[in-house]
Amino acid sequence: MTTSSNEVKNENQTTLPFTPSDELSSTQESVNSRSNIEPVSNQSSVERRTWEFIWKTFIIVSVQITIVWEICALVLLVSQIYEWMKENTWFSWTCGILGTVLQLEMLLIPQLQFAFPYNYIYLIIATIIVAFAAAVPLIDLPFWWTFVTWIITVIIAGIVVAVSVVNRFDVLKSFGEFILVTFIVELAFVIIFFPFIFWREFDILIILCGFAMMWTVISEIAIIVQALLGDRRFTFRNNQHVLCGLIIAMLIIWLHLLVSTEVAIFIVSINRTEETGGRRLYGTSADKYLEL
C-alpha cells in the first residue's frame, strides 16, 4: 500500500505543468516585458504628436508668409496702389497698428485660437492687414529687392533655427547674456548718439536702432525653437499649433520688416550720396525715407 501511494504521488507531481515558483517568474517576466514596451510606445506617440504639431505649425507659418509676400508684390507691381500708398502714409500706419492689435488679441484670448474655422479666418485677415504695413519699406526700392530682402530674412531665420537645434541652450541662463549684449548695444548707441546728431547723420542712428531690434527678434525666435524642442517652460499644448504658427510668423514678418527697412535706408543713402557727387546732405536720406 505504501508503494502504491508513493507512485500516485510521483505521478501527480510529474503531471503538474509548472510549479508556483515558475508561475511567479513567468508573471514577473510578463510585467517586465509590458513595462519595457510601454515607454517605447509612449515615446513613439509623443514623437508622432510632436512632428504633427511642427508640421501644422509650418503650414500656418508658410500661409502667412506667402500672404505677406504676395501683398508686397501686389503693392509694388500695381502702380495705382503704389502711388496711393506713397501719398497716404496714414493707411500703412493704420494697417500696422490694427494688424498688431488683431494678432495680440489672438495671443491673449484663447477663444480666438481654438474656434475653428473662425481662428483661421481671423488669422488670414490679420495677416493681410499687417502685409500692407510690411510693404512700406519696399516702396522706394526696385521690385527685385523684394526677393533680396526675403532671402536675407530666410537666411537669418534659418541660421538661428539651425544654431538653436544643434546647440541646445538654457534660455533662462542665457537671458543674462542677452541683457548684457543688449546693454552694450544700447551703450554704444548712446555714446555715438551725440556726435551723429551733431553731424545730422540720421541714417546711422536708424540703422543701429534696427540692428538692436533685430537682435531682440532673433532671441525670440531662438526661444520658440527651444519650446518646440521640448523645453517645458516654454512648451505649447497639442492644440496650440495656431498660436505657435502665429508667433513664429509674426516674428519672421517683423524680422523682414527690419531687414527691408535697413536695406531701404542703406540704398537710399547711397543713391543720395551719388547724386550729390560724394558730398553728404544733412539727414537727406533718412528724411526722404521717413516721408514715405
Nearest to residue 197, comparing CAs of 282, 262, 278? 282
Q: How confident is the model at residue 259 (pLDDT cuts 50, 70, 90)?
A: confident
Q: What are phi and psi of 188, to 5 degrees?
A: -65, -40
pLDDT tens column, 100-134 = 788 777 777 766 666 677 778 888 888 888 888 87
- Is residue 7 a part of any domain in this protein? no
pLDDT reported for residue 15: 46
- Is residue 140 a part of any domain in this protein? yes
* 210 pLDDT higher than 60: yes
All 3 cell numbers of residue 151? 532671402
Q: How confident is the model at residue 64 (pLDDT cuts 50, 70, 90)?
A: confident
- Is residue 285 a part of any domain in this protein? yes
What whole-number distance in Å separates Cα of residue 253 and Cα of residue 255? 5
Q: How confident is the model at residue 83 (pLDDT cuts 50, 70, 90)?
A: confident
What whole-number distance in Å separates Cα of residue 229 and Cα of residue 241? 14
pLDDT reported for residue 14: 47
All 3 cell numbers of residue 44? 513613439
pLDDT reported for residue 286: 42
Give the helix/strand (H/E) hosting 79.
helix 79-87
Range of the domain at 282: 18-290
Number of domains in the chain: 1
- Is residue 9 a part of any domain in this protein? no
- Is residue 13 a part of any domain in this protein? no
What whole-number distance in Å separates Cα of residue 163 and Cα of residue 201? 35
- Is residue 94 a part of any domain in this protein? yes
- Is residue 3 a part of any domain in this protein? no
**Helix, strand or coil, per DSSP, at residue 280:** coil
- Is residue 283 a part of any domain in this protein? yes
pLDDT reported for residue 57: 80
* pTM of the predicted model as reported, rounded to 2 decimal places: 0.64
17-31, 182-196, 240-254: which has the minimum mean pLDDT? 17-31
What are the CA-CA distances from residue 238 to residues 58, 175, 244, 289 (Å)? Answer: 14, 27, 10, 44
What is the per-residue burial (b if ≥16 Cβ within 10 Å, else e) of 104-131?
Answer: eebeeeeebbeeeeebeebbeebbbbbb
